[in-house]
Chain A
Amino acid sequence: MSSTMVVVKGFPQAPSPFRLASAIRLTLRRGTGSAGSTRGIAERSCMSETNRTGQAAAMFRRRTLLGAAAAGGAALVAAPFAGSKARASSGTVNVFAWGDYVQTFNEGGLAKKFTDQTGIQVQLSTYGSNDELENKLRASGGKGFDIVFPSVDTGPNYYKDGLLAPIDETKFKVEQVIPSIYKSSVRLGATHRGKRHLIPFDWGTEAITWDSEKHPDLKYGELSYGDMWKEGLTKQVAMRQKSVLVGLALYLDSTGEVKSDRGMDLVKSEADSRRVFSEVTDWAIARKPIICAYWNNATEATSAFTDAGCTIGQTWDTTGILLNRNNGSKWRYSMPKEGGLAWTDTIGIPAGAENVEQAYAFIDFMLSPEAGGIFSNNTGYNSCAVGADQHLSEENKAAFAMAYPDQAAIDNLWWWPPQTPFFAALRTEYVEKFTNA
């Protein structure tokens, strides 16, 4: 039963009380312009119902009334909830984080440590994918949260709509971030028009998780994305559509079947991207019977192996590493020779953040060596904090050695390039084509 509960927690639609409250606060604020005259509008629209007959109602009058009604609408809708929750006090920071980070805040004790050190309360809400984070922020106009953790390559999607505030580099300890990562994040999308918006927080990969009892011949060095598409794997493979097509593009580029400049054509131009996606998708559709389950977040990825019976798949590191740690050492996770898909998650401050000072205090805390170590130990992801490696558990070091057996595994990583404007819509188109083929 406990596994069911976890799944429910990961369900993106589940409304958390906090999220609801913040939505209400937003509606209220939007409506304040006409809140004073709420009652007047209510009466007027009531009257328009009954006095309709015998009115030589000019078109324009009705339109004014409609306009006023619409304007008052937001206030009216929100009015019954007024006063149900006071504004967030100055001693809180509203954190919107990945579902797979929750454990490190709660059981890992990071939230409590932060509160003990600074007196600031942490209000935690979660999301399961970059798209979810992006569109929740877009829906609220960048309000409601003080800290978010987008992947660095999705930065351009936020910049386009002005959803993130520029980072003031004098307000937090820049030296706490590993300098080479801080610098290279520029090329991956952390800055916009010369201003930094995202601070690297952790990095990890999406590569291959497999059951070494069912697939004894797989090992690092020869491991390839192609191993997931071999014949005879009927209903064995777990994947996330939108990234498996990218892994496959890398494989087909290396075999020469579909040339894509090691995947870079996917973001180069719409025409190039369409060519690669289309050929890769057709290749994948021809081998569709291998699919066992799709996943969209870390919880689903784990249950694809534990509940749905998959034996190999493309997953985030947290899934493979935690399976290996908790469900038996037969589960392995490592980099294919084409290079693991590497991501960097960053900390950003939304444009509408209310508790900016607290947000910077939170950033300083999260990038301290100790917090970085706790984070890594709990999630299996790698902290970008200087000195976090001093706090790693033996378990975590072993997991790292399994995932990246040598320096070449790291040098060979494929870092997600910054997304270009056409990318999201185009990728969704091919994901749907693949899913429904």
Chain B
Amino acid sequence: MRKLFQKLGIVPATIACFLAAFWVLGLIVLPQATMIERSLWWEEQPADAQDAVQKLDQAWIRQAELSLEDPSPERDTELAAVEAEIQRLETLDTAPVRAWGLTNYVRMSGLHLRIFLWTLAASLAVTLIAFVVCYPVAWAVATAGPGLRGPILLMGLIVPYAVNELLRIFAWLILLDREGVVNTLLQALGMPGVPFVETGSGVFITMVYTYVLFMVFPMLNSMETLDRSQVEAARDLGASIPQIHRRVVIPHSRPGIAIGCIMVFMLAAGSYAVPWIMSRGVGGDWFTQLVYRQFYEANQWNVGAAYAVTLLIACLAFVLLVMKVMRVSLREIAR
């Protein structure tokens, strides 16, 4: 600490401290902590208390209706009775009790569990497809001559990604919709249309497209550091092209591949906009949509928080798994 202050001077060091604290608290600790806290409690209301609350609401509605009516002996007697009932009900204790525990985590229904596992599997598939698509692209860019690399990178990768993600998703919806560009073309050629949106395959296509760049750049970075003479040496020793990639290029670019996979998987598993827009709900839900619905429709924020934390844990597990499989350490990834 003192070293930092001596090295930078008081004002810059204070600013650095402030920014570091902002980062740790605001971006890491606070959001996760609130989510975890919320996932650990729920409100309980005994059945008879629920019943009493409902009766009280009904009585108040009747009271309001009666007081808007013209006075008459019958109305007055009923009003008095309703008001007595209200007084009686209001003395009952109906406040919900907050209970703590892990119940929210084990309440996932069979349907939700299936969707959870399916989302993980689908994200994995997106990651694999993105890898297959990106590997040749990254290799082509990494080996392209200096005169060619700039234009390829700019036109092929950076410009499309300067367009807002939502616009790109909607563009794909226009392309793949039931009466969209692709299906119109297919029909014009006398071929049957493909239900991209209805079957959920549109979600896959769009997701691969949307997150491809996050795979390309890390791979490109690590491929560029490969000494070209190693590839030449392998070739001189008689290695075939697949062998060169398997034995030389891939082992060298492991950290890049690992980062790319982790990023694409996390983005896919946590994507809300792509499945929501590209399936119109017809192609089945992704887990993120269930989380959204727990918060925004079912009014069960605590369960929603537990779902969100579960997804986070699954993603962390995936990170560790990838690191193990690719045999890379955190330090290599950070490099």
Contacts of B111 in A (CB 8 A): 432-433, 436
Q: Is B273 an interface residue (CB 8 A)?
A: yes
Q: Verify B61–A191 contact, CB threshold 8 A.
A: yes
Partner of A46, one of B20, B64, B198: B20
Q: Is A187 an interface residue (CB 8 A)?
A: yes
Q: Verify B282–A76 contact, CB threshold 8 A.
A: no
Q: Is A390 an interface residue (CB 8 A)?
A: no
Q: Verify A428–B30 contact, CB threshold 8 A.
A: no
Partner of B179, one of A131, A191, A241, A307: A307
> Which of A7-15, A212-220, A359-367 lies at the binding interface?
A7-15
Partner of B298, one of A138, A307, A429: A429
Instruction: Knowing A50-B1, A70-B33, A156-B57 are in contact, say whether A80-B17 is a contact too (CB < 8 A).
Output: no
* CB closest chain-B residue, reference A426: B298
Partner of A131, one of B112, B285, B296: B296
Q: Is A404 an interface residue (CB 8 A)?
A: no
Tally of contact residues, A, Cβ under 8 A: 66
B24 CB → nearest A CB, Å: 8
A125 CB → nearest B CB, Å: 16
Q: Is A151 an interface residue (CB 8 A)?
A: no
Contacts of A138 in B (CB 8 A): 301
A179 CB → nearest B CB, Å: 9
- Mask: chain A, 220-239; 1 = CB below 8 Å from B; 0 = not: 00000000000000010000
Q: Verify A11–B166 contact, CB threshold 8 A.
A: yes
Tally of contact residues, B, Cβ under 8 A: 57
Instruction: Knowing A70-B29, A428-B293, A435-B285 are in contact, say whether A183-B22 is a contact too (CB < 8 A).
Output: no
- Mask: chain B, 227-245; 1 = CB below 8 Å from A; 0 = not: 0000000000000000000
Q: Verify A308–B170 contact, CB threshold 8 A.
A: no
Instruction: Knowing A11-B166, A42-B17 are in contact, say whether A73-B30 is a contact too (CB < 8 A).
Output: yes
Contacts of A293 in B (CB 8 A): 280-282
B125 CB → nearest A CB, Å: 18
Q: Is A57 an interface residue (CB 8 A)?
A: no
Q: Verify B174–A421 contact, CB threshold 8 A.
A: no
Partner of B177, one of A13, A74, A307: A307
Residue among A41, A235, A436 facing the most chain B CB atoms (10 A cut-off): A436
Contacts of B50 in A (CB 8 A): 421-422
Contacts of A51 in B (CB 8 A): 1
Instruction: Knowing A45-B21, A186-B65 are in contact, say whether A135-B60 is a contact too (CB < 8 A).
Output: no
Bound Cα distance from A191 to B65, whole angstroms: 10
Bound Cα distance from A309 to B177, whole angstroms: 10
Q: Is B155 an interface residue (CB 8 A)?
A: no
Q: Which of A61-117 contact B (CB under 8 A)?
A: 69-70, 72-74, 76-77, 79-80
Q: Which of B249-291 contact A (CB under 8 A)?
A: 272-273, 277, 280-282, 284-285, 290
Q: Which of A20-75 contact B (CB under 8 A)?
A: 39, 41-43, 45-47, 50-51, 69-70, 72-74
- Mask: chain A, 284-301; 1 = CB below 8 Å from B; 0 = not: 000000011110100010
Q: Verify B296–A135 contact, CB threshold 8 A.
A: yes
* CB closest chain-A residue, reference B272: A13
Q: Is B295 an interface residue (CB 8 A)?
A: yes
Contacts of A256 in B (CB 8 A): none
Partner of A76, one of B21, B179, B281: B21
Q: Is B26 an interface residue (CB 8 A)?
A: yes
Q: Verify B53–A421 contact, CB threshold 8 A.
A: yes
Q: Verify B299–A425 contact, CB threshold 8 A.
A: yes
Q: Is B162 an interface residue (CB 8 A)?
A: no
Contacts of A41 in B (CB 8 A): 21
Q: Verify B30–A432 contact, CB threshold 8 A.
A: no
Contacts of B20 in A (CB 8 A): 46
Q: Verify A135–B1 contact, CB threshold 8 A.
A: no
Q: Verify B297–A424 contact, CB threshold 8 A.
A: yes
Q: Is A194 an interface residue (CB 8 A)?
A: yes
Q: Verify A77–B60 contact, CB threshold 8 A.
A: no
Bound Cα distance from A375 to B29, whole angstroms: 47
Q: Is B194 an interface residue (CB 8 A)?
A: no
Q: Verify B170–A43 contact, CB threshold 8 A.
A: no
Q: Verify B60–A47 contact, CB threshold 8 A.
A: no
Bound Cα distance from A41 to B277, whole angstroms: 43
- Cβ contacts A to B, 18 pairs, < 8 Å: A11-B166, A42-B22, A70-B29, A73-B25, A73-B26, A76-B18, A76-B25, A77-B22, A183-B65, A187-B61, A194-B60, A294-B282, A304-B280, A418-B57, A424-B297, A425-B300, A429-B298, A435-B285
Residues of A within 8 A of B (CB): 4, 7-8, 11, 13-14, 39, 41-43, 45-47, 50-51, 69-70, 72-74, 76-77, 79-80, 131-132, 134-135, 138, 156-157, 183, 186-187, 189, 191-194, 235, 241-242, 291-294, 296, 300, 304, 307-309, 418, 420-422, 424-425, 427-429, 431-433, 435-436
Sample of 8 more A-B contacts, CB < 8 Å, known A45-B25, A186-B61, A436-B115: A74-B30, A76-B21, A76-B22, A80-B22, A131-B296, A291-B282, A431-B297, A436-B111
- The 7 closest A-B CB pairs, nearest first, are A428-B298, A77-B26, A294-B281, A46-B17, A50-B1, A42-B21, A73-B25
